[in-house]
Structure 1
């Protein structure tokens, strides 16, 4: 009993939660160390990673040695042990000619390994084509009634030497005839004759020291020769070299290199490139979105100015009038401006509360506040309008006044087809009475007609036929009371369920996408991201696909999908935010800011690897001159220069922090950390400043900002991009 008590006491003396707490703390510590190590490895801050540092050093040597002459001797070092080529297996039975052939082939193979293999799709297609051609050749060479290739079976007297297995494999798989040996035997096919040349290698003779010794059967391969075209397709590797991508080859850059010898070639590493998954994904999504947009919305008139569309339509005054609708042309062969807003293009009024736009819309609301029902004397119908547009001879304007008040002494009204006394849902009863302000009336979902004859003139605004309903049109939330025909001509949204323009939210309807959380406060901030997947037209999409399939894909092979996606999306969002801040009333779309961010990576690549170039200044000039040309091109209409400039700036900062570095000399980890922190800090600070300027609307009336986006060389040169806020009411402009 004493032993049991003592053991129990010892067990109970340890708190039950101590072990679990210690275990959880140990796991959390491991997780923190792993996360810290992963972040450091991503930014290239692992100081004691000797293996990776050696790989980067030898990658730099390989790049320089492939592109030119003049590499400095101090950059040539011995390769790490895990990167050395495997020793060649020497076959003592091979002739001197075969040995020389294999050494040449080994050198060619080693040189070819410095290049990357083709893509999986290309290799698949090449393999299918080669298999098809090989099958045809096999049919031509095979004997009638034979189900096996000639020479696949040896006679019992001649067997390959077991020590020549590697030589046999080489001669079977490479398209070259073996050297003939004097006095050697011939392999026989089933017909008793010599096998066809090239089907298999003639077995070598036994060593002179062991003549006539019977050897066991060696491996019988019986395979056809692999065509040289297939071998070349495997050996040729299109590897993306640091500093020498598509743009580098296009601009004929020259790297320093004078050490391209066989010894140096053996020391070159064979690191694979990244697959451009993000480039393929974003390009696919952009093309699909464009196809859907064209299929749903159609295309706008093609041109660089405006197009007028005229038609004879019925107006609210029952007259058939010739009305004209002016529409902006689209140079890119794509959707209309209003449709692009509906799809998610960059448009500041849909993203924040815009006081200038609210002031412009207040003109229409003020005009509707003083409106009333205009009833035709001939019983032809009625429409809601202001007094100046109601003809005294053909119509009368029924307005509640102090001398003729409405129900409960109301002075605001009347409204054609709506009255608080005849609405069942929602009803106007205490404590939910409708205010004496028609612009605050809700839509009546259940209206009861007054119990009176049609000939009665009392409450005639409730018995007349309504000739006009609210129609939302334009891109600034304009609303008019008109007919459906006229609304269709203006490509607007007709509301036959409402009686007043104040009962519909035209601006939220123009913006589309996800409804505002608060109808009074636009909040579609996600347009900074969605606009990257939209394009102005077919030409715009073609330019994007070409750029991303050549320039951006080339950069992703170097940096990887994660780094390229951060730079692409970060530069595009920042460029769109700058465009929203400086030119808020212009509709912009497309990933131009993102593309200029990728171009900035090219410039950073040249700056980081300037020691490798024969003429670093010339390489920079060749990049800066085209950039200046594209910035000057942004001064023309149809281009968003603000997105270009800020996209390039953010791409430049992010590239310095995220692009892989090639270390020249001793790696200075402190300088690397400072570069990352400064670059990311400047990018975050600049983005925060743009957000503050955007939401405080400090630059909403910036007159000089538009000149950086389009210089008006003539009076109507920038008219296609100009968006003017209305300064008067359009409520009754088309009555």
Structure 2
């Protein structure tokens, strides 16, 4: 929705000398307008609803009481009960359910060419805490951006940033499934930064706005070095959104807008170009970097390249081990199995836990990886 340009007519009274009856005289129309359009934000709330609905659907499909021995909140929630906390501390479904609904699993992307998982994983969440945190952030950041730039640009920015985050995550985190909208959210933060830089001249408190935004970004990225947080998705989404901001969030020069909106008879500022030269340069460079980055990254992923083999220190960008925790999310889990008939005995080689499972079909071991992951968690 655009702004209202209805003119306000100012009426003045000019009494004539010796004339008792003053005549109202209408002066030139005085327009009060904002230089840039404002839109009603409806797409971001729609994205929030879609994410929440998909989480509810995931819990319905998960049906913990039917598929697991113990569930959290089974008496109250029924089939919407959560997986045990030791399996999913975020209060959510099982990993197998998320895989079924489109979680990012690099093995399936590489071997079965299921590239669509780079997109679908951004709409799924691992638990209640996960989806609530992301949706609150989306409302806080996304609605303001949609008011300023409209649903088309912000909608595309959100989706493409999410895919960019998934792509970088898939190149460096190949032993775990990945879900969440955090890559897309960091894309919005990256776009805010590039929007501030490319539209620098229209801001009043430039330095304060820049320092505040950088502080918010640094704090959020720093949180990503904690274990069980996919910071590669954050970084990939942020970089994608940063370059997309130079493409989607570019604003015309203020002088050009004033000249276009000048009334007849008024002398506007003479500005020939709609955009400044540096804005056009940044737009072209950003497009080149984005196309090259997505193409190169996708080729590496489909060839099965592990980014950690090319960069021995990059795993520290996602998790830094300390005396308080270990970065187990970066390590592959291995189990030793012994099967006799329909009895399967698994031993986790990392924590040496053992468990005996009774299989409904002795020839069906399709869930072996999930059982091993649960035993080693």
Using the size of structure 1 for normalisation, the TM-score is 0.37
Residue number among 291, 294, 297 corresponding to 2:62 in the alignment: 297
Deviation, 1:594, is 0.4
Aligned match of 1:564: 154
Aligned match of 1:337: 95
Q: Are the counterparts in 1 of residues 199 and 250 from structure 2 also a CA contact under 8 Å?
A: no
Deviation digits for residues 358-409 of structure 1 (CA, Å, limit 9, x no counterpart): xxxxxxxxxxxxxxxxxxxxxxxxxxxxxxxxxxxxxxxxxxxxxxxxxxxx
1:623 paired with 2:213, answer yes
Aligned match of 1:539: 129
Q: 1:286 to 1:327 in 2, by over 3 A?
A: closer
Q: How does 1:596-635 map to 2 (within 5 A)?
A: 596-635=186-225
Aligned match of 2:295: 688
Structure in which a larger fraction of residues adopt helix = 2
1:274 paired with 2:39, answer yes
Q: How does 1:220-239 map to 2 (within 5 A)?
A: none
1:529 paired with 2:119, answer yes
Q: Are the counterparts in 2 of residues 299 and 333 from structure 1 also a CA contact under 8 Å?
A: no
Aligned match of 1:445: none
1:87 paired with 2:30, answer no
Please give the secondary structure, in 2, of the residue aligned with 1:352. helix
Residue number among 646, 650, 653 corresponding to 2:243 in the alignment: 653
Deviation, 1:584, is 1.0
Aligned match of 2:106: 348
Deviation digits for residues 487-516 of structure 1 (CA, Å, limit 9, x no counterpart): xxxxxxxxxxxxxxxxxxxxxxxxxxxxxx
Deviation, 1:612, is 3.8
Gaps of 5+ in 2: 15-19, 22-26, 71-83, 256-270, 346-355, 357-377
Deviation, 1:556, is 0.6
Q: 1:707 to 1:298 in 2, by over 3 A?
A: farther
1:550 paired with 2:144, answer no
Q: Are the counterparts in 2 of residues 333 and 537 from structure 1 also a CA contact under 8 Å?
A: yes
Q: 1:560 to 1:729 in 2, by over 3 A?
A: same
Aligned match of 1:708: 317
Deviation digits for residues 548-596 of structure 1 (CA, Å, limit 9, x no counterpart): 2221011011111110111101110011011011111121111111001
Deviation digits for residues 616-670 of structure 1 (CA, Å, limit 9, x no counterpart): 2222111111211111110102311101111011101111011141415543657
Alpha-carbon distance in 2 for matches of 1:83, 1:333: 50
Q: How does 1:9-408 map to 2 (within 5 A)?
A: 85-88=7-10, 266-269=30-33, 273-298=38-63, 328-353=86-111
Using the size of structure 2 for normalisation, the TM-score is 0.68
Alpha-carbon distance in 2 for matches of 1:268, 1:609: 23
Deviation digits for residues 116-155 of structure 1 (CA, Å, limit 9, x no counterpart): xxxxxxxxxxxxxxxxxxxxxxxxxxxxxxxxxxxxxxxx
Q: 1:269 to 1:716 in 2, by over 3 A?
A: closer
Please give the secondary structure, in 2, of the residue aligned with 1:281. helix
Gaps of 5+ in 1: 1-54, 60-81, 93-207, 210-262, 301-307, 310-325, 354-521
Deviation, 1:280, is 2.1
Q: 1:338 to 1:715 in 2, by over 3 A?
A: farther
Deviates further, 624-633 or 326-335: 326-335
Please give the secondary structure, in 1, of the residue aligned with 2:110. coil
Aligned match of 2:326: 717
Deviation, 1:706, is 3.2
Q: 1:699 to 1:540 in 2, by over 3 A?
A: same
Question: What RMSD over aligned residues (CA atoms) do the two structures have, in Å?
Answer: 3.4
Deviation digits for residues 93-136 of structure 1 (CA, Å, limit 9, x no counterpart): xxxxxxxxxxxxxxxxxxxxxxxxxxxxxxxxxxxxxxxxxxxx
Please give the secondary structure, in 2, of the residue aligned with 1:643. helix
Alpha-carbon distance in 2 for matches of 1:676, 1:700: 28
Q: How does 1:422-437 map to 2 (within 5 A)?
A: none
Please give the secondary structure, in 2, of the residue aligned with 1:651. helix
- Which of the pair has more CA radius of gyration? 1
Alpha-carbon distance in 2 for matches of 1:612, 1:554: 17
Q: Are the counterparts in 1 of residues 161 and 237 from structure 2 also a CA contact under 8 Å?
A: yes
Alpha-carbon distance in 2 for matches of 1:345, 1:652: 25
Alpha-carbon distance in 2 for matches of 1:556, 1:292: 27
Deviation digits for residues 518-574 of structure 1 (CA, Å, limit 9, x no counterpart): xxxx22211111111101111111112212222101101111111011110111001
Please give the secondary structure, in 2, of the residue aligned with 1:351. helix
Alpha-carbon distance in 2 for matches of 1:585, 1:267: 61
Alpha-carbon distance in 2 for matches of 1:622, 1:269: 28
Q: 1:334 to 1:578 in 2, by over 3 A?
A: same
Q: 1:669 to 1:613 in 2, by over 3 A?
A: closer
Deviation, 1:602, is 1.7
